Structure 1
Amino acid sequence: MTEQQKHFPEFYVTAPQACPYLPGRLERKLFTHLTKEKPDTLIDNLLRGGFRRSQNIAYMPYCEGCHACVSVRVVVDGFTPGRTMRRVTERNRSISAARCRPEPTSEQFALFRRYIDARHADGGMADMTVLDYAMMVEDSVINTFVTEYRAKPEGALDSDPETWPLTAAALCDLLSDGISMVYSFYDPEADHASLGTYMILEHIAYARQLGLPYVYLGYWITGSRKMAYKMRFQPLEQLGPNGWVPHPGD
């Protein structure tokens, strides 16, 4: 491998396969490998410029004739939660959030499997093993962390939250201008708690605490009901041919 290959990305394109979000369409991805030899600024620019990370691969949609996938990010300083979101925060006021190193645990995997089996049993992650999960969490060359959310049992001591049961977790990357939420999962039996919404709200608050202007939510997909929830976190910006611009809303 030449020095140029070590420090600059080589891009590849996947073969067409069925789109998991829009029935009847095919998807392809443009991707590159992330290695320790790649400059940190290059990787940061990729992830701020529309690429998503899965382990040590950065990828983005590369679908012929389709531009439904749009990168979106929440503008932290402009975000004000509405009444419904304030209720979600209040509903989860007894949850303790802790930032952890990207080190997989058996407790995380057990929760992850319950979530996948209940919500995405026919998806691409349905067959993930404990080894696959470990690689998803720890295989990263950048600043990655896990936020663990633990629910306080009745009668438990406030001073001992690390003993509370794990109810949700979010794998995130820390970028130069924000937090990129890579993947999150939660107790599928806790629908009433709106934990998916709560985790985004909590990371917006954390980004504000760190002085970071954005929380990256990945792709919003035109016509996909699964991605409609992202529109609730306004103001939202989308990445277009001329850079990041305000998203017009759904």
Structure 2
Amino acid sequence: MSNLRTLRFYATPEHGCSYLPDRQARTLFVDPRTSIDRNLYSQLSDLGFRRSGGHIYRPHCEGCQACISVRIPVDRFRPSKTQRRIENRNADLVVQSAPCRLTDEYYALYERYIRQRHADGDMYPPSEDQFSNFLTEGCADSCFYEFRNTDGHLLAIAVSDRLDQGLSALYTFYDPDEYRRSLGVYAVLWQIRQACRLGLSFLYLGYWVKSCRKMNYKTAYSPLEMLHNGEWKLMDKA
């Protein structure tokens, strides 16, 4: 069985940075042929690695450390007034876990979300192959959390990985017409509560980039820990 000492890694050539348009980026990947169980994936997550489909990676950019791994210590989390209002606003929703799979219902929601919210991004235009490669391949300890209203209508899906020490929030897509619900925020809040219910310590939110406006939402969850020089430390609000 593989362990951290025996893992092989591959670095990509430089390519345009998705977060900072004036920068070049390089990514470090775990050998995709490696068999990775939950324990090893959990260790990699604590070292700042992230999963996308069947690939586990982290930024590996020369002379740049703008991408910072962040996580929420869920037992210390205290929602803001705005976050409490969002939780109350969505108290009618029913959430249940489901296997990661491609269905007509899931893809219809995903397609609408990408077309209306991310038409200027790397994921446009959406496709079924993209959905499968990104959201259904990879970790066996992953699930779709379905958020449905009282009529059973699917409003959102949060893709989440189970780690030894927490949950890793991979991606959320939702009905763009339900903007009053703030479903993206609610999905994070719900996963914080779910980690607590499961007796886990953290919710991993991926990377935060200070100069990237799209990443600013992550600092709204407090306290937030950041990985700096191999150590997890509370983020300075200043």
- Between 202-211 and 118-127, report the one with greater CA deviation: 118-127
Greater shift in the superposed pair: 178-187 or 141-150: 141-150
Q: 1:85 to 1:144 in 2, by over 3 A?
A: same
Tell which deviates more after alignment, 205-214 or 121-130: 121-130
Letter in 2 for 1:151: N
Partner of residue 73, structure 2: 75
| 1:148-167 equivalences in 2 (<5 Å) | 148-153=146-151, 164-167=152-155
Question: In structure 2, do the counterparts of structure 1 residues 105 and 48 end up closer, same or farther at CA, with 3 Å as the change threshold?
Answer: farther
1:50 partnered with 2:48: yes
| Matched pairs, number | 237
Which residue identity does 1:70 align to in structure 2?
I
Q: Relative to structure 1, is the Cα distance of residues 60 and 152 closer, same or farther in structure 2, using a 3 angstrom cutoff?
A: same
Equivalence for 2:63: 65
Who wins on radius of gyration, i.e. which is larger? 1
8 A contact 1:94–1:151 mirrored in 2: yes
Structure 1 residues 78, 40: closer, same or farther in 2, change over 3 A?
A: closer
Match of 1:32 among 14, 30, 34: 30
How has the CA–CA distance of structure 1 residues 33 and 172 changed in structure 2, closer, same or farther, with 3 Å as cutoff? Answer: farther
Aligned partners of 2:114 and 2:126 also within 8 Å: no
Looking at structure 1, the residues matched to 118 and 12 of structure 2 have their Cα atoms a distance apart, in angstroms, of 23
Q: Which residue of 2 aligns with 1:214?
A: 202
Q: How do 1:209-248 and structure 2 match up within 5 A?
A: 209-248=197-236
CA drift at 1:27:
1.3
TM-score by length of 2: 0.93
Q: CA contact under 8 A between 2:86 and 2:182: conserved in structure 1?
A: yes
Cα distance in 2 for partners of 1:22, 1:219 equals: 13
1:203 to 179, 191, 197: 191
The one-character-per-residue Cα deviations of 1:70-126 (angstroms, maximum 9, x if unpaired) are 000001011111211110011111111111111221111111111111111121211
Gaps of 5+ in 2: none
Tell me which of 10, 13, 18 is aligned to 2:11: 13
Q: Give the counterpart letter for 2:66 in structure 1.
A: A
**Structure 2 counterpart of 1:172, which letter?**
S
Q: Distance in 2 between matches of 1:144 and 1:32?
A: 18
Percent identical: 38
Over the residues paired in the alignment, what is the CA RMSD in angstroms? Answer: 1.9
TM-aligned CA deviation for residue 35 of structure 1:
4.7
Aligned equivalents of 1:220 and 1:175: distance in 2? Answer: 20
Aligned-pair CA distance for 1:4: 7.4
> 1-side partners of 2:37 and 2:138: how far apart?
14
Whether the aligned pair in 1 keeps the contact of 2:11 and 2:26 (CA below 8 Å) is yes
Distance, in Å, in 2 between the alignment partners of 1:29 and 1:237 is 22
- TM-score, with structure 1 as normaliser: 0.89
Distance in 2 (alpha carbons) for counterparts of 1:32 and 1:134: 20
1:176-227 CA-partner distances (Å, limit 9, x unpaired): 0000011111111111111111000000000000110100000010111101
Q: 1:130 is matched with which residue? A: 128
CA–CA separation in structure 1 for the residues paired with 2:32 and 2:42:
11
* Amino acid across the alignment from 1:232: A
| Alpha carbons 1:172, 1:179 under 8 Å: kept | yes
CA contact (8 A) 1:79 1:235 kept: yes
SS of structure 2 residue aligned to 1:50: coil
Correspondence for 1:178: 166
